[in-house]
């Protein structure tokens, strides 16, 4: 009997399905909220769909601080998961904070708005690094399915992002911003229920033990790897800073500067729908790349690199 239980998800470990749908709904809530956040901030208080009436500059400034803190929170969140909590408990606690945060945004009050943003920042910081680590822990060392598993997991992220932009964006822009925030919150609640229901698949993910007993001088290979990680980190910082403009400057541009009316349908495309293009392309190409990569590995075209 195999030591790793399997399910019907392409022969992957049993926990991958739980993590796939948990992250799908977590990203649905995150990207759904992101799709309408800046639009809510700049919408006039006297408009048909009233917002906070902020200037574009103030809205972008808040959005910038919010997204920066979301990513920064993953550092202390990861440390807490490693040293004091466990990966599983961090996901549960982070998911609870995310539910609280998103549903707080549904309340039409400025105090609930800022409390909601703070809760989301803390929740993402706990959940995001831990759930990715749980995916990695499903596999043994040099398991050929690992890369395919992460690709499947990443596709789940983009399914959530795609449907969030379409559904939450439409509801928020047409029926009211707080209805959109409510829908994002319900998505996170569903993700939390899915993870708690499947948490038995992660009973082996205990607290990370401290294994470093003494300081050792780094050898040349280790130094080269650290340099590579530092370079990759710099590139990723630039990439994600640019990528997040989709919910900020590009969102405002689509909202204010583009002709979104489809005449023959008498339908105005919501500005938030433009944010669905990127995840849609990743979904369409992701399954192909996943299958191709696994084929390459089986044929040993590429050798797994152990970092």
d(CA 57, CA 81): 36
Q: What percent of the chain has pLDDT over 90?
A: 49
In angstroms and rounded to an integer, the radius of gyration of the C-alpha atoms of the chain is 21
Would you place residue 199 in the very low, low, confident or very high pLDDT band (cuts 50, 70, 90)? Answer: confident
Structural fold of domain 15-209+276-298: Growth Hormone; Chain: A; (1.20.1250)
Would you place residue 189 in the very low, low, confident or very high pLDDT band (cuts 50, 70, 90)? Answer: very high
* Average pLDDT score over residue span 220-238: 86
* Average pLDDT score over residue span 202-219: 60
* Average pLDDT score over residue span 263-285: 88
Q: Kindly list the domain boundaries of the chain, sorted by start residue.
A: 15-209+276-298
- Quick check: 11 pLDDT over 80? no
Specify the pLDDT at position 300.
63
Kindly write down the DSSP assignment for every residue of 238-286, as one continuous string.
HHHHHHGGGGTHHHHHHHHHS--EEGGGTEEPPGGGGGGHHHHHHHHHH
d(CA 24, CA 16): 12
* 201-218 b/e (C-beta count within 10 Å ≥ 16 → b): bbeebeeeeeeeeeeeee
Task: Compute the mean pLDDT over every residue in the chain, rounded to the nearest whole number.
Answer: 85
Would you place residue 58 in the very low, low, confident or very high pLDDT band (cuts 50, 70, 90)? Answer: very high
Specify the pLDDT at position 303.
53
Q: Render pLDDT for 167-183 as a digit per residue (tens, 0 to 9).
A: 999 999 999 999 999 99
- Quick check: 157 pLDDT over 50? yes
* Average pLDDT score over residue span 80-102: 93
- Quick check: 210 pLDDT over 90? no
Specify the pLDDT at position 7.
52
What are 261's strand-pairing partners? 268
Would you place residue 22 in the very low, low, confident or very high pLDDT band (cuts 50, 70, 90)? Answer: very high
Would you place residue 35 in the very low, low, confident or very high pLDDT band (cuts 50, 70, 90)? Answer: very high
CA 35 vs. chain centroid, Å, equals: 13
- Quick check: 2 pLDDT over 60? no
- Quick check: 114 pLDDT over 90? yes
Specify the pLDDT at position 124.
94
Specify the pLDDT at position 97.
96
- Quick check: 63 pLDDT over 80? yes
How big is the CA angle at 97 (ends 91 and 98), to the nearest 5 degrees?
A: 85
Would you place residue 139 in the very low, low, confident or very high pLDDT band (cuts 50, 70, 90)? Answer: confident
Specify the pLDDT at position 73.
93
d(CA 76, CA 97): 15
What are 6's strand-pairing partners? 13
Specify the pLDDT at position 3.
39
Would you place residue 295 in the very low, low, confident or very high pLDDT band (cuts 50, 70, 90)? Answer: confident
């Amino acid at each position: 009997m195999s030591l790793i239980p399997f399910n019907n998800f392409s022969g992957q470990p049993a926990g991958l399905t739980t993590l796939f749908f948990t992250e799908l709904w977590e990203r649905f809530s995150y990207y759904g909220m992101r799709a309408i956040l800046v639009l809510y901030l700049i919408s006039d208080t006297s408009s048909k769909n009233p917002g906070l009436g902020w200037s574009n500059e103030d809205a972008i400034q808040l959005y910038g601080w919010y997204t920066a803190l979301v990513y920064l929170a993953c550092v202390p969140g990861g440390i807490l998961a490693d040293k004091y909590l466990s990966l599983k408990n961090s996901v549960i606690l982070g998911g609870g904070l995310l539910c609280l945060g998103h549903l707080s945004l549904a309340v039409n009050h400025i105090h609930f708005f800022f409390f909601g943003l703070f809760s989301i920042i803390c929740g993402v910081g706990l959940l995001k690094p831990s759930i990715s680590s749980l995916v990695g822990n499903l596999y043994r060392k040099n398991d050929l399915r690992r890369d395919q598993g992460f690709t499947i997991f990443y596709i789940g992220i983009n399914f959530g992002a795609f449907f969030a932009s379409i559904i939450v964006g439409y509801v928020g822009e047409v029926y009211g911003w707080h209805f959109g925030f409510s829908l994002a919150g319900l998505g996170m609640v569903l993700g939390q229920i899915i993870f708690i229901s499947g948490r038995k698949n992660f009973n082996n993910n205990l607290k990370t033990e401290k294994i470093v007993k003494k300081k050792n001088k780094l050898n040349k290979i280790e130094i080269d790897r650290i340099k590579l990680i530092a370079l990759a980190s710099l590139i990723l910082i630039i990439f994600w800073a640019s990528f997040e403009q989709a919910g900020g400057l590009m969102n405002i541009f689509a909202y204010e500067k583009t002709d979104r009316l489809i005449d023959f349908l008498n339908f105005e495309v919501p500005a938030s729908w433009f944010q669905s293009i990127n995840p849609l392309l990743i979904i369409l190409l992701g399954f192909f790349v996943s299958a191709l990569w696994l084929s390459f590995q089986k044929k040993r075209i590429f050798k797994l690199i152990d970092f």
